[in-house]
Amino acid sequence: MSTQSQIDRIIIFDTTLRDGEQSPGATLNVDEKLTIARQLARLGVDVIEAGFPYSSPGDFEAVQKIAQTVGTEQGPIICGLARATRQDIQTAAEALKPAVRSRIHTFIATSDIHLEYKLRKTRKEVLSIAEEMVAYAKTFMDDIEFSPEDAGRSDPEFLYEMLERAIAAGATTINIPDTVGYLTPAEFGDLIRGIKENVPNIDQAVISVHGHNDLGLAVANFLEAVKNGARQLECTVNGIGERAGNAAMEELVMALHVRRQYYNPFLGRPVDSEAPLTNIDTRQIYKTSRLVSNLTGMLVQPNKAIVGTNAFAHESGIHQDGVLKNKLTYEIMDAQLIGLTDNQIVLGKLSGRNAFRSRLKELGFDLSEQDLNKAFLRFKELADKKKEITDWDLEAIVNDEIQQSTDLFKLELVQVSCGDHACPTATVTLRTPDGQELTDAATGTGPVDAVYKAINRVMNVPNQLIEFSVQSVTAGIDAIGEVTIRLRHDDRIFSGHSANTDIIVASAQAYINALNRLYAALQLKDDRINAQHSNLETARPAPATAS
Ligand code: KIV
Ligand code: ZN
């Protein structure tokens, strides 16, 4: 990676799989993370922060698998997060080994409030830990990123000293996080300018920014940072992340694309340069957004900029009239630019396995023979019900299969009887992890309530349903319906998603997906407790988190 002065474009560092996955309920399994990582590579992000390897064995495995399969010669840099400790750094280095290009991202807080209450350390102590740990990380690889956590609320003079020491110790990227989403755009811009002017060796590292959206200012803050010298933006797809989320990738990329004449001069380019400011293939944006939303269960609000369902819709008569006469009257970008209109009718009832396989390949899905067979069966079932199958239908089927492939409990049968004069009654049969088939029935206030009660009788995992939503994948009465649910158990949220032309089946499957995640988390907890009791636990601590 080049240094600050050699960079004439913006580096997109995607942290959907690390900071994004820290959103309540957005937990992903290893296969789901791999699927998202592959899509991020197709989207063209420069760096994928694939996880926090020391935080859990699952995160370690996911980072390692992503490093193996996506961290290829032509692929993005694969990054792993590590606190400024030897075990964290060493574990991250181990997980990243298979990647052709890898990066360790290590961090320690620098604000007085974090030092006093969280770390209970002096500034002097924190300075020397950071210096020592950056140098330690450097023994594993060249590409090292250092973040002074809560930089936005840190004393600027202390921050300058910290950054100078981290760069001297070998950091090649210094990342400035507004951890609590507190700064305004002008303040964030000033902070970056101050760093450029006051850190003597700043030219030896790339300036990166990271920020949370607590005041809804993350994207605006980043754009101001770009004007003042930031060249790497840390963001997530759909802006998912802790609390109000992170800066949204699609908003940053499209702002830089649509307004490139405005931003060009800040990157030392002629105003009218047409060269893209990022490496992102914007036509992959919509698809990536849908994938992340489906797999994390984090729905995209309809009026969300760029990827919301209303973002390109014109309801009012005046707007419709204007757009029909000339799109530019009310549109600053074409829906095609983000791949929104790429939903072609591709297959039908008579399409064979080869056509199916090759279309999936074109869409970027690389399925094993077994998964392909399962997906093909689903496709045939769908083709019997729905005449024209589009790319989005195919994506819905395959994403559904990915989610179900690691299921502990499997839905074998669901039947309901309901109507305006009937008591809604459901029967379900589930296959348990040890292969038994269990059937139960229940009544409810409606068919979905009855199904959920019947499933509860079989699975017996206490929970509270907090969100249930149904959306259609395409228009038309025969469309696939997508059900997304979120449920709470103790203080944790779990999500589930499923797609089917029958929304009762989709509802049952989405619920089982969420319960399987909850069940897996409880099992993990039990395993940990058992292991601790029998003194078999390795040196891993309780899961660590970072914002
Ligand atoms: O928000 C934050 O400060 C973080 C750091 C780990 C970069 O996520
Ligand atoms: Zn963060």
* Token code pair at residue 21: 């996955």
> What value does the mean pLDDT take over residues 1-13?
77
The tokens of 485 are what?
Answer: 């649910």
- Pocket flag, ligand 1, residue 174 (CB < 6 Å): no
Q: Is 52 in the pocket of ligand 1 (CB under 6 A)?
A: no
pLDDT in tens, 454-495: 999 999 989 999 999 998 887 777 788 999 999 999 989 999
**pTM for the model:** 0.89
Per-residue DSSP letter, 429: E
Please give the distance, rounded to the nearest whole angstrom, from the Cα atom of residue 212 to the centre of ligand 1. 9
Nearest CA to ligand 1 atom 8: 547
pLDDT in tens, 196-219: 999 999 999 999 999 999 999 999
210 lines ligand 1 (CB under 6 A): yes
CA distances from 265 to 194, 213, 269, 272 (A): 20, 27, 5, 9
Residue 241 in contact with ligand 1 by CB distance below 6 A? no
Residues near 330 by Cβ (< 8 Å), separated by ≥ 6? 314, 319, 322, 323
Q: From the CB of 177, is ligand 1 less than 6 Å away?
A: yes
CB 101 within 8 A of CB 71: yes
Looking at the CA of 209, name the nearest ligand. 1
Residue 316, token pair as written in the block = 């009012």
Cβ(234) – ligand 1 distance below 6 Å: no
Ligand 1 atom at minimal distance to the Cα of residue 242: 1
Dihedral sign (CA 239, 7, 90, 99)? positive
Task: Measure 179 CA to ligand 2 centroid, in angstroms.
Answer: 6
- Which residue from 18, 114, 147 has its CB within 8 A of the most atoms of ligand 1, so it is best to mutate? 147
Q: Say if residue 477 is exposed, middle or buried (CB neighbours under 10 Å; 0-12, 13-18, 19+).
A: exposed
User: Residue 199 to residues 1, 111, 160, 280: CA-CA distances in angstroms?
Assistant: 20, 18, 5, 30
Burial class (CB in 10 A: 0-12, 13-18, 19+), 472: middle
Whether the Cβ atoms of residue 480 and residue 393 lie closer than 8 Å to each other = yes
Which among 251, 348, 352 has a CA at the least distance from the CA of 305? 251
pLDDT for 334 beyond 80 = yes
Strand partners, 493: 488
Give the burial class of 271: count Cβ atoms within 10 A of its Cβ; 0-12 exposed, 13-18 middle, 19 or more buried: exposed
How high is the pLDDT of residue 523? 76
Q: What percentage of the chain carries pLDDT values higher than 90?
A: 70
- pLDDT tens sequence across 218-251: 999 999 999 999 999 999 999 999 999 999 999 9
Q: Residue 44 Cα, ligand 1 centroid: separation in angstroms?
A: 23
Question: 448 alpha carbon to ligand 2 midpoint, in Å?
Answer: 37
The CA 399 to ligand 2 mean position distance, Å, reads 27
